[in-house]
Amino acid sequence: MAHTGTGSWPADNVRPRPVSPPAPPGPAGPAARRGQTWDSTGETPARPPARAHPEHDNLQVRLAAAANQHTSTRDLQLLAGDPDRQVRLWVAIHPNTPGKALSRLAKDPCDDVRWQVAGRARLPIPLMILLAHDNNNSVRGHLVEHLRLPPEVIRVLAADSQSYVRCKIAMHPDTPLALVEALLDDPELYVARAAARQAVQRPECPVQILEGLLAHPDPDIAASAARHPGLPKATLAMWQLAYRLP
């Protein structure tokens, strides 16, 4: 397949900067130190609630509950369905959020909530597969940044409609060599180059693949293949002669 790309990273596909939920508002002045909180206007001190309740009418109380490291898994489950996006963002990054709540947040209508879920460590495979089919490019791109990816997720993302997601898969160490080889024919040149660099890092890469890469019209891809230690010396010498290299 012919390469139609320019070899550069598309500017319109760059993942936006991570969205972090703001800290629950409230002053740190004398009133706060005395154990008081502030009402919604921020003007007068109010009596602090007995506990940070996940179903409290006050948004600031629910935010405090979602951000509190001691919040129970039961309360986090309730907060995962909060009508306020900021609360759900806090739950998405909370280290103790239970699997059932994460499953709900992985289907959240807000892209940045799902983006936070996609970046969590030790995500269950069914959730990773779900997020690999997400309709937001950044969510899928964030998922590829996991250090370990199961084969089911890699297969989905290797065929992603966005070239920058395929490029990340081409460079991922968990991607099977067969999929790396398939991405050598990607229509975007920078994806094919990434696949070539990954292929030549694999000791098990077949000589036939390396020889094919040596004949590639793109010099960067050919040079990547020439660096593989398994390439026969005679083949390398012929390539160097053809390119008049020392």
Residues 215-234: tens digit of each pLDDT: 788 888 888 888 777 777 77
206 Cα distance to chain centroid: 30
Report the alpha-carbon distance of residue 48 to residue 45 in Å, rounded: 9
Q: What confidence score (pLDDT) does residue 45 get?
A: 33
For 33, 42, 49, 197, the CA distances from 36, given in Å and listed in that order, are 7, 12, 9, 59
Q: What confidence score (pLDDT) does residue 237 get?
A: 74
The structural domains of the chain, with segments of one domain joined by +, span: 52-105, 124-199, 203-246
Q: What confidence score (pLDDT) does residue 46 get?
A: 35
Structure tokens at 32: 């706060």
- Helix, strand, or coil (residue 37): strand
Assessment of whether the complete model's pTM goes beyond 0.75: no
Task: Report, as ranges of residue numbers, the positions in the chain whose pLDDT lies below 70.
Answer: 1-55, 239-246
Report the alpha-carbon distance of residue 107 to residue 102 in Å, rounded: 9
Q: What confidence score (pLDDT) does residue 243 get?
A: 61
Question: Which residues are bridge partners to 38 per DSSP?
Answer: 45
Q: Are 226 and 236 in contact (CB under 8 A)?
A: yes
Q: What's the pLDDT tens digit per position in 92-119?
A: 999 999 999 999 999 999 999 999 999 9
Q: At which residue do the structure tokens 């709540």 appear?
A: 101
Q: What confidence score (pLDDT) does residue 31 get?
A: 35
Cα four-point dihedral sign 144, 146, 148, 151 = negative
Q: What confidence score (pLDDT) does residue 230 get?
A: 74
